[in-house]
Each structure stands twice: as C-alpha cells, then as structure tokens.
A and B are shown apart, each in its own frame.
Chain A
Amino acid sequence: MTENTPKHILQRLMDNPWILLALGLAIPFISYTLWGWIELLQVPPAPLP
C-alpha cells in the first residue's frame, strides 16, 4: 500500500486507540451499567411491615 492509498475505514478504526477507547467505554456502560441501573431504579420498595 502506498502512502497515497486511502486506508479502509476499519483499518483507520483499528489504528485509532482513542476511538476504540471511546467505543469500549460506551458499549459496556450503556449495555450493562446504565441499562441495569435503570432496571434497578424501577424496582419498587419492599412493603415491609
């Protein structure tokens, strides 16, 4: 590949640790943490005597 050949978008993604860091933070925080947190907030308080 010469210097003038544009890089494939996936190659550019893999060469950019900052975008990978952002995606690596966003996906688990949304899928696991935020979604789970919202579900826990919706649990009604136990009707203790």
Chain B
Amino acid sequence: MNAADITNPASPGNNPESNPYALNESSRARTCDTTKLPVCFDAQRFIRLNAVLAVVFLLVGGIAALLLALTRWQTVHLLPADWFYRILTLHGFNMLIFWILFFEVAILYFCCTSLINARLYSRKVAWVSFGMMAAGALMVNGIILAGKADVLLTSYLPLLAHPLFYLGIIFMAVGTLIGVFNFFATLFMARRHKTYEGSVPLVTFGATAAAIIAVVTLLHGAIVMIPTFTYSMGWTAQPDPMWYRMIWWGLGHMSQQVNVCAMVAVWYLVATLAVGAKPLNEAVCRSAFVLYILFINIASAHHLLVDPGVGATWKIWNTSYAMYLAVLASMIHGFTVPASVEVAMRTKGYIKGIFGWVANLPWRNPAFSAVVLSLVIFGFIGGITGVTLGTQQINIIAHNTLRIPGHFHATVVGGTTLAFMGLAYYVVPLIFRRDYIWRSAARIQPWIFAGGITLMSFGMSFAGSMGVARRTWDIDPAGAVYGPPAHVMLGLAGIGGSLAFIGLLLFVLLTVGTLLFGRNNTGRAMESWGEPRDIGDAASVARKTDKEEHKTPGTLVLVLIFLAVFAVYYFANWKALADVWPVR
C-alpha cells in the first residue's frame, strides 16, 4: 500500500513552517503504520463512533430482514400481520438510513482529513452531529418497537405516527447535515491553509459529490418532515398527500443516491489499497461524479410514475432524458474501476491472455472480493433493472410489485452495503488498530452475503414479474391467486434472505470480535490480506507494459457482455409490456 497513490499532501517545504491545519505538522495526529497516511485523532474518534453505531444498526436491520424474509416466504409465514408491518418499518429505517448514514459520515471524516492532510474542522460540531443522529435513531427505533409508528419507511399521509417518530427523523437529518457541514468546513480550511497541493484526490472528490447530494436530500427531508411533525402535534393542518409523496421521495430516493456516490468512492479507494490501482483518467472519473451531482437526484421521480398529479413531460424528463446522464456516469465508473485494476495488474506483469490478470487478483482479500461483487451485483442486477423499471412505459407492469425491492436490494445491499463491508476490512485494522480474527471466515464472508442477496433479488424480481405486490403480508388472502411458480420464487427469496443474514451476522461477529479480541497492530503494519506481487524481471515488465499501457482488453470484453445483458433485459421488458395489451 502506498499513500501517494491516493493522496497528495503538500510538501512541508512549500508551506509556512507552522500550519495549524496540516496533519503532518500537528501533534493531534499520527502516521498510519501501514499506509503512511496522517490520521487526525479527532477524525479517528468520530470515525470509530460512527462506524460502531453503523454496525449496531446493521445488525438490528439484519435481524428484521431475516424475520421479513421468513414471513414473505409464504410456506413459513412467520410474523403476524401487525408485526410484519412494524418490522418492515424497522428494517427500512435501520438498513436504508441509519447503517448507511452513520457509515457515510465516517467515510466523509476520513476523506476530508487523512486524504488531504487536514485536521477535522471541529470536534464540538462532530459531537453535536453524532449526538443528534444517535438520539434520532434511538427515538425512531423505540417508537417503532412500541407499536406507535406502523407506517413503513415512507410514512405516507394520511397514515400518522407518533410525533416522536417524525422528531427522530428530523434529529437524524439535521445531525447528518451538521456532519456534512463539518466535512465542508474541513475542506474549506484545508484549501485556505494549503494542506494539500493541486486538486483533492479522486476519493475525496467522490466523497464531496456524496456530501453535495446529501445536502439536497436532507433539505427535502426537512421540508417534508417539519410540517408533518407539526401536523402530528395538532398544530397545523395535514399536508397534501400528493405533495408529501413528491417531497418525501426527495428524501427517500435521493438518500440512496448518496449511497451510490459513496459506494463508487469506496470502489476507487479499495482498488487502490488492494492492488495499487490508479484512475485511468482523472478528468473522466471526476466528470462522471459531476454528472451524479447534477442529475442523479432527479431519479426520485421514478416513484411518482403512476401518480396522476404530475404530467408525462415532468415524469419522462426526470426519469429518462436527464437521468440517463447519471446512468452514463455509473457506466463510466463501471468501466474505469475494473479497467484501472486491469492496468495495475498488467503493470505488475500479469499480461497473459485477456483474463490472465483476473485469475491472479487478490481474491483472498475480503475487501477486494467484496468490492468486485458489489460492482457486479450493482451493475448487472441493480443498474440494469433500475434503468428498465424507471422507463415510464415499462414501469406500469412493475410498479409496487416485488420487482422494485428486487431492484433496490441489488443496489443498496448488494452494492452499497457490500462495498461498505469491504471497506471495514481496512477500517478496523487501520483506524481501530486491530487485526481481524478468524481470517479464513472473513475471506468467505463477502461471497456468502453476495450469494444470498443475489438469490433474494432474483426471487423477488421473478415473483414481482408474476404480479406479487411488495409490502404485503399475505399474497393469498382470498385463496390461491398466484400459482406455484410465484410461491417457489418467494421461497427462493426467503432462502436467499436467510443466507444473506448468515453473511451479515458473520460480518458483525468478525468485526465485533476483532474489536474485542483482535491483535493490536500499533507500531507495525496491519496484517496483510495478500496483495498481488510483481512478477517477471523489471525490464521485461516495463517493456510489456509500455507496449500495452492503458490497454484493457479484459475489461472491454466484460463491458460488452454487460451491454448485451442490458439490451436483452431491456427489450424483453418491452416485449412483456406488449404482451399485456396485445394488438390484434
């Protein structure tokens, strides 16, 4: 691992002798024994706090997920109806909001300090942020488990929950916004005091994009939740339900775009840490992040594609024409990340054939395998289904069916959660300074989780294709409406969900076990997960890589396979739509 691959700290000679914001001159920082990156003590503390709470909420959400999977598996049908909707509400908040946001704040603090050689702007602001987020999350979870907020994640009006439910969400949103402010303030001070040279590193740029998207998201949250809270208190009239839906999805869907952006930043970071990959073209990668900033948030309109209050022009512009620029960005990242890994491997001498480099990738590194699986699941399942289901015409045969959870479990869980799990295999040794225990189990954990979530996503998607509705406790309330194939697919989703839970539980046990019993690595490098070594003599490798510099035939083949799958799936759905209303 080489810090120079991902950061560009200012050389001390170019700066005033005492720079209060530069970590490499501060007594409130240490140098990482593995990466040689500077680590701000304040940032380290809040990365630890946020990461620990993130894992706690991941476990809560995961237990809820298992209960839901075993309920929608019609043969098992575990929970009674009231508890199904209660646990579904709990699951949504813990997995989509709490686990992800706490982990993302930890990522932001890392990216704005260690990578640009700057100390965290304010410890007090970080405490306020963390305190509000923790209080909000506990408030929401408590009120849900008390049975006073069975309104699901969306809490569509006129469904009404206890006021503390809305207050908890407001606390969570404002707390996160304060954390994002701390990130921007750190960037501002770092730039003003020249703690780094040139542009910020790509990973920090990606984190900045995520933070910008988070601001838009959280402002929508404030706009919709404050009047809903005052309504729940009886102080104001009920907000219009159509308006509520539109603004709420400015919170609900945009928050998932923060995840996408942060996940891509993690892909680049882990690719660098695991194989020494460098972005193929910084300008292209950064432009793709800019496309996210500008256009990804408008995808929220997907959720309103069958709403009568907004017109077709608004729907099509926001879900197709403009949004496809954000899809383009995802496809750019989907190419540049594996391509940068391929170039790094070929530079090390793995030049045999088109896929010789793939066989020699560090598959025993759980961080790397998690990121590769995240990329594949996000692109091949989540991305393709997302673009297809977001097409206005096709959406009519999929809206509110299990195909939608089948899609977003591939993006948010198979994509983001798995990438974050992968990052944890570096965060724990580097920030908590403990080497992972039971490393053989750690090496298979991403595969178990990815296999489970893929099975579940397939089961949900195919059941949804047969018309099975989402958010429904019982699919056969009035007899056997659906045939055996739908039940088989729900069973597949149940098995996949259970397998994914085993992977999740293994991750939590490994991580908590490491924090309690892991060997302290202070004063030495972390125990390596295994990196691909350079092969061949330097001269031959240099000659070969000169000739093949930036050639990525393996990635090109993978991209062509991806595009072919995309085309087949997309047009199969048009065919399915045509079958709904046959023209004779």
**A, B co-complexed:** yes
Residues of A within 8 A of B (CB): 10-11, 13-15, 17, 20-21, 23-25, 27-29, 31-33, 35-37, 39-40, 43
- Please state if A37 and B246 are interface contacts (CB–CB under 8 Å): yes
Look across to chain B and name the residue whose beta carbon is closest to the beta carbon of A31. B298
- Distance (whole angstroms) from the CB of A20 to the closest CB of chain B: 6
- Please state if A27 and B298 are interface contacts (CB–CB under 8 Å): yes
- Please state if A32 and B298 are interface contacts (CB–CB under 8 Å): yes
User: Which residue, A10, A23, A25, A40, has most C-beta atoms of chain B within 10 A?
Assistant: A40
- Please state if A32 and B297 are interface contacts (CB–CB under 8 Å): yes
Answer whether A31 and B310 are a contact pair too, CB < 8 Å, given A17-B187, A24-B213, A24-B215: no
CB contact between A40 and one of B187, B213, B216, B243 (< 8 Å): that residue? B243
CB neighbours (8 Å) of B242 from chain A are 40, 43
Q: B293 contacts the other chain (Cβ, under 8 Å)?
A: yes
Q: B417 contacts the other chain (Cβ, under 8 Å)?
A: no
Interface of A is mostly: helix
- Please state if B290 and A14 are interface contacts (CB–CB under 8 Å): yes
Question: What 10 pairs across the A-B complex have the smallest Cβ distances?
Answer: A28-B297, A24-B212, A24-B293, A32-B298, A39-B310, A40-B309, A14-B286, A31-B298, A36-B246, A43-B309
Q: B369 contacts the other chain (Cβ, under 8 Å)?
A: no
Answer whether A39 and B309 are a contact pair too, CB < 8 Å, given A17-B208, A20-B208: yes
- Please state if B216 and A37 are interface contacts (CB–CB under 8 Å): no
In the complex, A43 Cα to B310 Cα: how many Å?
9
CB contact between B298 and one of A10, A28, A37, A43 (< 8 Å): that residue? A28
In the complex, A43 Cα to B240 Cα: how many Å?
12
- Please state if B294 and A27 are interface contacts (CB–CB under 8 Å): yes
Q: B482 contacts the other chain (Cβ, under 8 Å)?
A: no
In the complex, A39 Cα to B317 Cα: how many Å?
14
Look across to chain B and name the residue whose beta carbon is closest to the beta carbon of A29. B216
- Please state if B213 and A36 are interface contacts (CB–CB under 8 Å): no
Answer whether A40 and B293 are a contact pair too, CB < 8 Å, given A20-B208, A28-B254, A31-B317: no
CB neighbours (8 Å) of B310 from chain A are 36, 39-40
CB neighbours (8 Å) of B290 from chain A are 13-14, 20
- Please state if A35 and B215 are interface contacts (CB–CB under 8 Å): no
CB neighbours (8 Å) of A11 from chain B are 199, 283
- Please state if B314 and A39 are interface contacts (CB–CB under 8 Å): yes
- Please state if A32 and B208 are interface contacts (CB–CB under 8 Å): no
CB contact between B216 and one of A14, A25, A39 (< 8 Å): that residue? A25
- Please state if B220 and A20 are interface contacts (CB–CB under 8 Å): no
Residues of B within 8 A of A (CB): 184, 187, 199-200, 205, 208-209, 212-213, 215-216, 219-220, 240, 242-243, 246-247, 250, 254, 283, 286-287, 290, 293-295, 297-298, 300-301, 304, 309-311, 314, 317-318, 322
- Please state if B317 and A17 are interface contacts (CB–CB under 8 Å): no
CB contact between B215 and one of A13, A14, A25 (< 8 Å): that residue? A25
In the complex, A10 Cα to B283 Cα: how many Å?
9
In the complex, A32 Cα to B251 Cα: how many Å?
12
- Distance (whole angstroms) from the CB of A35 to the closest CB of chain B: 6
- Please state if B199 and A36 are interface contacts (CB–CB under 8 Å): no
Look across to chain B and name the residue whose beta carbon is closest to the beta carbon of A16. B191
CB neighbours (8 Å) of B200 from chain A are 15
- Please state if B314 and A17 are interface contacts (CB–CB under 8 Å): no
CB contact between B311 and one of A17, A27, A31, A39 (< 8 Å): that residue? A39
Answer whether A17 and B322 are a contact pair too, CB < 8 Å, given A32-B300, A36-B301, A36-B314: no
In the complex, A30 Cα to B187 Cα: how many Å?
27
CB neighbours (8 Å) of B293 from chain A are 20, 23-24
- Distance (whole angstroms) from the CB of A37 to the closest CB of chain B: 7
CB contact between A17 and one of B184, B246, B250, B294 (< 8 Å): that residue? B184
- Please state if A33 and B184 are interface contacts (CB–CB under 8 Å): no
- Please state if B199 and A32 are interface contacts (CB–CB under 8 Å): no
- Distance (whole angstroms) from the CB of A3 to the closest CB of chain B: 10
- Distance (whole angstroms) from the CB of B115 to the closest CB of chain A: 14
- Distance (whole angstroms) from the CB of A42 to the closest CB of chain B: 9
Look across to chain B and name the residue whose beta carbon is closest to the beta carbon of A32. B298
In the complex, A35 Cα to B290 Cα: how many Å?
22
- Please state if B250 and A32 are interface contacts (CB–CB under 8 Å): yes
Please list 26 pairs of residues, one from A and one from B, whose beta carbons are closer than 8 Å in the complex, sorted by A's number: A10-B287, A13-B290, A14-B283, A17-B187, A17-B208, A17-B212, A20-B208, A24-B209, A24-B215, A24-B293, A24-B294, A25-B219, A27-B297, A28-B216, A28-B250, A28-B298, A31-B318, A31-B322, A32-B297, A32-B298, A33-B247, A36-B304, A36-B310, A39-B311, A40-B242, A43-B309
CB neighbours (8 Å) of B246 from chain A are 33, 36-37, 40
In the complex, A29 Cα to B304 Cα: how many Å?
16
In the complex, A10 Cα to B282 Cα: how many Å?
12
- Please state if A21 and B215 are interface contacts (CB–CB under 8 Å): yes
Answer whether A20 and B301 are a contact pair too, CB < 8 Å, given A14-B199, A40-B310: no
Answer whether A40 and B240 are a contact pair too, CB < 8 Å, given A13-B290, A31-B318, A32-B300: yes
- Distance (whole angstroms) from the CB of B194 to the closest CB of chain A: 12
Known: A10-B287, A23-B294, A27-B295. 12 other contacts (CB 8 A): A17-B187, A20-B293, A21-B184, A24-B216, A24-B293, A28-B216, A33-B220, A33-B247, A35-B314, A36-B314, A39-B314, A43-B242
